[in-house]
Amino acid sequence: MANSTTKEKKAGGKRERLVAGAREVLYAQGVERTTLADIAEAADVPVGNVYYYFKTKDELVDAVVASHVDEVRGVLETLEVHRTPKARLKAFVRMLIEQAGLMASHGCPQGSLCSELDKREDGTNRQRSELLGAPIDWAERQFREMGRRDARDLAVALIASYQGIAVISNSFGDPDLVVREGKRLERWIDSLS
Residues 179-192 have pLDDT tens digits of 999 999 999 999 99
Residue 4: the pLDDT is 36
Please report which confidence band the pLDDT of residue 121 belongs to, taking 50, 70 and 90 as the band edges.
low
pLDDT at residue 31 is higher than 80: yes
CATH class, range 1-55 = mainly alpha
pLDDT at residue 9 is higher than 60: no
C-alpha torsion 24→27→30→35, nearest 10: 0
pLDDT at residue 84 is higher than 80: yes
pLDDT at residue 12 is higher than 80: no
* Residue ranges per structural domain of the chain: 1-55, 61-191
Say which CATH superfamily domain 61-191 falls into.
Tetracycline Repressor, domain 2 (1.10.357.10)
